[in-house]
């Protein structure tokens, strides 16, 4: 049987439809729902040959995992990935990211949302990833997980060796023996690995990283930032530096 999951809400469904990130089997819209966005969605789906059905609210509720779908869901197939060789291949100084060990799908989605908004050229994941919880992930990311080019690597070490071989600097966040984020040159071709809040990045990976980045705090605080917050701080500093580069 073909793997099938549910995307909830207009933003999630539009992102999947426009990006072509996965097969869309059927879109369900509440009978009474109408606005310009829904009109566009029905027209675009018809052009792509995707069935759209107007149904009662209880039918949508039966599929949905919550009540925040706004009367619109889609039954979709698995996320389609690209070969790792394609990630950042068309950029002179790629900014590629990897989320490793993130255990909560909402935090995963929020982190990808920040990375994509800050201009990351691609995302690397392990084979076991939160794309299996697509409904939560896509909604938390405001569709960013559908838009960002994504590839699979068996381990962070494998991904690092691939991108190092292509001339990218392998970087990660760390507390010890690290360069303050704002003092580092982040305009170089960059592969940035961000670890989860509990497991973090392994010592073996930290020891082999080309660049370890510390996020300066405004006062004494001995706790790490959450994954989504750290991703936002790191990625937007990359964007800031690159926006000012000649």
pLDDT per residue over 182-192, tens digit each?
Answer: 999 999 999 99
- Residues 131 and 216 reside in one and the same domain: yes
pLDDT per residue over 16-35, tens digit each?
Answer: 999 999 999 999 999 887 78
Residue 121 tokens, joined: 């050229």
The last residue of a domain, from among 76, 102, 118? 76
Average pLDDT, the chain: 90
Is pLDDT at 8 greater than 70 in this prediction? Answer: yes
Instruction: Kindly state the percentage of the chain with pLDDT values over 70.
Output: 93
Identify the pLDDT of residue 37: 84
The last residue of a domain, from among 76, 102, 127? 76
pLDDT range class, residue 1, cuts 50, 70, 90: very low
pLDDT range class, residue 195, cuts 50, 70, 90: confident
Q: What's the pTM?
A: 0.91
**Sheet architecture: strand order including 52-55:** 5-8, 72-76, 24-30, 52-55
- Residues 137 and 38 reside in one and the same domain: no
Identify the pLDDT of residue 77: 93
Mean pLDDT of 57-65: 85
Burial level of 124, CB count in 10 A (0-12/13-18/19+)? buried
Q: Nearest-CA neighbor of 229 among 240, 215, 219?
A: 215
- Residues 158 and 112 reside in one and the same domain: yes
Identify the pLDDT of residue 132: 64
pLDDT per residue over 65-118, tens digit each?
Answer: 766 788 899 999 999 999 999 999 999 999 999 998 888 899 999 999 999 999
Q: Are 99 and 141 in contact (CB under 8 A)?
A: no
pLDDT range class, residue 206, cuts 50, 70, 90: confident
Taking the C-alpha atoms of residue 211 and residue 195, their distance in angstroms, rounded to an integer, is 15
- Residues 227 and 159 reside in one and the same domain: yes
| CATH code of the domain in which 22 resides | 3.30.1330.30
Q: Other CB atoms closer than 10 Å to residue 86's CB: what's the count?
A: 12
- Residues 96 and 213 reside in one and the same domain: yes
Identify the pLDDT of residue 246: 46
The CA-based angle 136-138-140, given to 5 degrees, is 65
pLDDT per residue over 149-162, tens digit each?
Answer: 999 999 999 999 99
Q: Other CB atoms closer than 10 Å to residue 159's CB: what's the count?
A: 24
For 193, the 3-state DSSP assignment is strand
The last residue of a domain, from among 35, 53, 76? 76
Identify the pLDDT of residue 197: 67
Q: Which residue range is the domain that position 164 belongs to?
A: 84-243
Is pLDDT at 237 greater than 90 in this prediction? Answer: yes
| CATH code of the domain in which 171 resides | 3.40.1280.10
Mean pLDDT of 42-64: 91
Q: Are 17 and 44 in contact (CB under 8 A)?
A: yes
- Residues 43 and 95 reside in one and the same domain: no
pLDDT range class, residue 64, cuts 50, 70, 90: confident
Q: In sequence order, what are the residues at sequence separation of 6 or more whose Cβ sits closer than 8 angstroms to the Cβ of residue 225?
A: 215, 233
Total structural domains in the chain? Answer: 2
Residues recorded for the chain? 246
- Residues 26 and 108 reside in one and the same domain: no
Identify the pLDDT of residue 34: 78
Q: Which of 85-94, 143-152, 222-231 has the least mean pLDDT?
A: 222-231
DSSP state of 175: S
Mean pLDDT of 220-245: 91
> Dihedral through CA 219, CA 224, CA 225, CA 230, nearest 10?
110
């Amino acid at each position: 049987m073909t793997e099938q999951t549910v995307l909830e809400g207009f933003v999630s469904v539009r992102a999947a439809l426009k990006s072509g990130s996965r097969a869309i089997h059927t879109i369900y819209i509440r009978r009474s729902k109408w606005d310009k966005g829904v009109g566009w969605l029905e027209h675009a789906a018809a052009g792509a040959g995707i069935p759209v059905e107007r149904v009662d609210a209880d039918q949508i509720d039966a599929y949905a995992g919550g009540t925040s779908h706004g009367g619109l869901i889609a039954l979709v197939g698995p996320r389609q990935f690209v070969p790792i060789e394609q990630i950042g291949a068309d950029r002179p100084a790629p900014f590629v990211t990897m989320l490793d060990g993130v255990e909560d799908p909402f935090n995963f989605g929020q982190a990808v949302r920040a990375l994509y908004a800050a201009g990351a050229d691609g995302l690397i994941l392990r084979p076991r990833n939160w794309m299996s919880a697509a409904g939560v992930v896509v909604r938390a990311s405001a569709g960013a997980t559908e838009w960002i080019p994504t590839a699979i690597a068996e381990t962070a070490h494998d991904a690092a060796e691939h991108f190092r071989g292509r001339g990218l600097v392998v970087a990660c966040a760390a507390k010890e023996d690290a360069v303050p984020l704002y003092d580092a040159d982040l305009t170089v071709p960059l592969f940035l690995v961000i670890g989860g809040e509990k497991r973090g990045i392994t010592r073996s990976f930290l020891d082999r990283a080309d660049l370890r980045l510390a996020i300066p705090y405004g006062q004494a605080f001995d706790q790490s930032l959450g994954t989504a917050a750290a991703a936002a701080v790191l990625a937007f500093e990359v964007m800031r530096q690159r926006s000012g580069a000649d």
